[in-house]
């Protein structure tokens, strides 16, 4: 008999963690209130079996104590941790309220029942938390391919909040992204009834698809897009001795893995969908990090309103299914909202002019100059992290606290152009101004809206989203399209950086040499 598909509701309604492959999935529980703990403590006080258990261990609990309720739960969780793992749960577990049983089982998983590769991670707007197992294919892949290096690389590179006042850095890492991708891919593979050998390949692909991300993340790829194209260079990992050992131990197909990372075939489609769940974590970070005084602008409100109206907007993983060997989405309206959220993130964060201020100065500016001068190499960028890159740039400019000084850029001015030649002429007008640094950002829009990537199942037939919901598809396209592709950033070196005249001249000369 085929297992029931995993959904947000099935994870929510399960009292026990759900184990799939190298992952354990749990409902993202909200914290207990003070009143709930107090009521539970009073309930415990009237349970003879609980009082007997307390007496046997010489423990006394008071309903009026500050930790009432939680202290009793932690005590029972400790009792469970001492229980024989191979034996059935203690009979008192069945006497507990459902919420208490779930709390204790989750506590046990996090402390005694699981050797985690990573802590319990909540994926926003997707309906679950998860852990990845240590001593597993996942952990061996991370160890063999050096994937933990991605923990020193920010997921959003040198992008910053589009704040009018502050340069706010995002904290989530590329390592967290590949963990998220693996979790989503695991759920989809399970629901599709995928063969174990294919599921293993998908798991390795999810964890390793960004292994060649350079220090500085996507911002640093701007120095040479071809050299840092992760998909095109992915086969480089097959020359490593550590890969040979991993491949032999787990019987992995390197050709299939390469095609999967490139987005080819069924596994490639699943990986492509799972990879796009960066939208979930980026959206939460965008909303949480925005300074309070900037939360009234249109972009913030549009993203906040969407996730408020559709709190499980990233739950499309549960609707991914197979139809005649093709991956299709069985809930077209939910896909519309997911792709709309993604498009809003491109418009109001990834491509927003103020978000890219720092990225253009560092990635398209100083880092690009160092790379082309041979002072920064591809090998270094593929073995180091963000902190090293910041040190390298600060050391080159002989300004140790350079990045600490780039916190407020309220004097920076931005001008947008449809014609690149006009932008170049405008930039040249400031060549003689010693206090103004000009950076040109020529945006190449290679991002697709996704409306032609994922077929949907609608009224028993498979069709593209644009065919089923043409108006919604057109709206998504309009959001993600950026009409003016060239921007000029005018930095006031005196007001924003507070750097000396000699360093200003040096940076100005570097930036001018990179114009194209």
Helix, strand or coil, per DSSP, at residue 163: coil
Q: Model confidence over 248-261: pLDDT tens digits?
A: 999 999 999 999 99
Q: Would residue 457 be called left, alpha or beta, if left means φ above 0 and alpha means ψ between -120 and 50 degrees?
A: beta
pLDDT digits (tens, 9 = 90+) for 154-190: 999 989 888 766 667 899 999 999 999 999 999 999 9
Give the phi and the psi of residue 20 in degrees, each rounded to 5: -135, 115
Q: For position 496, what pLDDT does the model report?
A: 61
Q: In the prediction, which pLDDT does 115 show?
A: 80
What is the CB neighbour count within 10 angstroms for residue 86? 5
Q: For residue 436, is pLDDT > 50? A: yes
- Residue 128 DSSP label: E
101 neighbors 58 (Cβ within 8 angstroms) = no
Angle between helices 265-275 and 174-191 (to 10 degrees): 130
pLDDT value for 275: 97
Q: What are phi and psi of 413, to 5 degrees?
A: -115, 145
Nearest to 150 by CA among 178, 130, 118, 120: 178
- Residue 436, helix vs strand vs coil: strand
Which of 112, 120, 126 is closest to 74 using CA atoms?
112
- Residue 62: pLDDT above 90? no
| CA–CA gap between residue 431 and residue 36 (Å, rounded) | 66
On average, the pLDDT of the chain sits at 89
Residue 372 has a CB neighbour count (10 Å cut-off) of: 13
| Model pLDDT, residue 1 | 35
Provide the 10 A C-beta neighbour count for residue 247: 16
Please check the confidence at residue 274 and state whether its pLDDT lies above 70: yes
Distance CA 156, CA 148 (A): 17
Host H or E run for residue 474 = helix 470-480
| C-beta of residue 29 within 8 angstroms of C-beta of residue 102 | yes
* Mean pLDDT for the stretch of residues 336-344: 96
Q: Which of 398, 404, 409, 399 is CA-nearest to residue 360?
A: 409
- Beta strand 456-458 with 461-463: parallel, antiparallel or unpaired? antiparallel
Provide mean pLDDT across the span 480-495: 82
The reported pLDDT for the residue numbered 127 is 93
Main-chain dihedrals φ then ψ at residue 137, nearest 5 degrees: -60, -40
Q: What are 13-43's pLDDT values in tens digits?
A: 998 899 999 999 998 766 788 889 999 999 9
Which helix (H) or strand (E) segment holds residue 490: the answer is strand 486-492
Phi then psi dihedrals of residue 201, to 5 deg: -60, -45
Mark residue 488 as left, alpha or beta (left: phi above 0; alpha: psi -120 to 50; beta: remaining): beta
In which residue are the tokens 């010489």 written? 58
Extended strands (E) in 346-470:
413-417, 436-442, 456-458, 461-463
The yes-or-no verdict on residue 379 having pLDDT over 60 is yes
Tokens of 295: 């939360």
Intra-chain end-to-end CA distance of the chain, in Å: 63
Q: Which residues, in sequence order, are bridge partners of residue 490? A: 413, 438
Q: What single DSSP character describes residue 234?
A: G
- Neighbouring CB atoms inside 10 A of 177's CB total 23
Which of 445, 443, 440 lies closest to 425, judged by CA?
A: 440
Q: Is 335 within 8 Å of 310 (Cβ atoms)?
A: no
Dihedral (CA of 95, 97, 100, 105) sign: positive
Region at 224 (left for phi over 0; alpha for psi -120 to 50; beta for the rest): beta
Judge contact between 508 and 491, C-beta under 8 A.
no
pLDDT at 330: 95
- The SS3 call for residue 132 is strand
Instruction: Decide if 402 contacts 394 (C-beta within 8 A).
Output: yes
């Amino acid at each position: 008999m085929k297992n029931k598909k995993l959904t947000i509701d099935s994870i929510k309604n399960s009292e026990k963690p759900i184990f799939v492959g190298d992952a354990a999935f749990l409902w993202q529980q909200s914290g207990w209130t003070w009143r709930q703990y107090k009521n539970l403590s009073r309930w415990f006080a009237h349970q003879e079996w609980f009082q007997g258990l307390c007496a046997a261990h010489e423990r006394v609990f008071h309903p009026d104590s500050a930790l009432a309720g939680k202290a009793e739960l932690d005590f029972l969780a400790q009792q469970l941790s001492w229980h024989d793992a191979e034996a059935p749960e203690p009979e008192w577990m069945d006497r507990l309220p459902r919420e208490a049983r779930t709390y204790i089982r989750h506590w046990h998983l996090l402390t005694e029942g699981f050797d985690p590769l990573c802590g319990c991670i909540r994926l926003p707007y997707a309906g679950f938390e998860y852990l990845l197992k240590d001593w597993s294919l996942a952990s061996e892949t991370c160890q063999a391919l050096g994937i933990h290096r991605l923990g020193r690389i920010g997921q959003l590179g040198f992008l910053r909040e589009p704040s009018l006042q502050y340069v706010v850095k995002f904290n989530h890492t590329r390592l967290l992204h590949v963990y998220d991708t693996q979790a989503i891919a695991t759920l989809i593979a399970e629901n599709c009834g995928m063969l174990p050998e294919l599921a293993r390949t998908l798991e390795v692909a999810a964890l390793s698809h960004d292994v060649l991300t350079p220090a500085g993340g996507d911002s640093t790829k701007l120095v040479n897009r071809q050299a840092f194209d992760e998909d095109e260079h992915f086969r480089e990992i097959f020359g490593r001795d550590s890969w040979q050992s991993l491949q032999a131990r787990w019987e992995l197909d390197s050709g299939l893995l390469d095609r999967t990372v490139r987005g080819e075939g069924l596994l490639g489609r699943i990986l492509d969908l799972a990879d796009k769940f960066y939208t979930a974590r980026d959206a939460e970070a965008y909303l949480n990090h925005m300074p309070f005084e900037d939360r009234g602008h249109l972009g913030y409100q549009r993203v906040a309103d969407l996730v408020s109206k559709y709190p499980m907007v990233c739950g499309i993983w549960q609707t991914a299914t197979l139809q005649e060997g093709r991956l299709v989405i069985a809930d077209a309206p939910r896909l519309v909202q997911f792709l709309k959220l993604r498009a809003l993130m491109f418009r109001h964060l990834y491509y927003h002019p103020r978000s890219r201020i720092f990225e253009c100065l560092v990635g398209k500016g100083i880092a690009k100059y160092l790379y082309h001068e041979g002072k920064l190499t591809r090998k270094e960028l593929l073995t180091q992290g963000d902190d090293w890159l910041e040190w390298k740039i600060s050391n080159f400019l002989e300004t140790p606290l350079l990045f600490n000084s780039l916190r407020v850029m309220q004097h920076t001015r931005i001008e947008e152009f449809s014609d690149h030649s006009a932008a170049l002429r405008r930039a040249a007008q400031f060549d003689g101004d010693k206090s103004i640094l000009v950076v040109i950002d020529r945006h190449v829009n290679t991002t697709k809206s996704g409306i032609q990537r994922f077929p949907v199942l609608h009224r028993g037939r498979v069709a593209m989203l644009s065919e089923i919901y043409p108006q919604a598809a057109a709206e998504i396209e309009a959001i993600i399209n950026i009409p003016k592709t060239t921007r000029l950033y005018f930095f006031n070196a005196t007001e924003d950086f507070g750097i000396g005249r000699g360093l200003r001249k040096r940076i100005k000369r570097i930036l001018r040499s990179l114009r194209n």
